[in-house]
Amino acid sequence: MPSYKRMGLSDLSMKLRGIVGEIKDEMIGVYSNGNEEKSNIIITRKGLCSVENEEHVWILYNDIVSVSMSEDNKNSDTILINKKNGTRSILVVRGRRGRFNDALEFLRFLMRVAC
């Protein structure tokens, strides 16, 4: 995935460092959903964090019950994540390589680490 970068905490902006600091976990990398600072998915050993503009949501791997694509599987950039507490999170992964979208790779990753 060209939008994914393996990074350390020192490679991040102060804003993203603060977000990673909330969970006190080792960061693995960052997936850029376009704009470097406004839309990212931070991947850590315990979970991932979807960052959109000024808001962010943590999704811990051990909280995930199931993952699936939204209705239009082939062209969807949306992953639906059902959690143990009964809530659902939506993870948007916008990148593509040719006819394949990066959301499918993220879906496979989440299926392996969480379910």
> Amino acid identity, residue 44?
T
CA dihedral angle for residue 20, residue 15, residue 37, residue 105, rounded to 10 degrees: 0
Please, what is the Cα angle at 21 between 15 and 24, to 5 degrees? 160
Domains of the chain and CATH, by start: 4-114 (2.30.29.30)
The Cα 61–Cα 64 span in angstroms is 6
If you write DSSP's letter for every residue of 62-94 in order, what string do you get?
Answer: GGEEEEEE-SSTTT--EEEEEETTS-EEEEE--
Higher pLDDT, 94 or 60: 60
Higher pLDDT, 12 or 30: 30
Per the prediction, the chain carries an average pLDDT of 79
Q: How confident is the model at residue 115 (pLDDT cuts 50, 70, 90)?
A: low
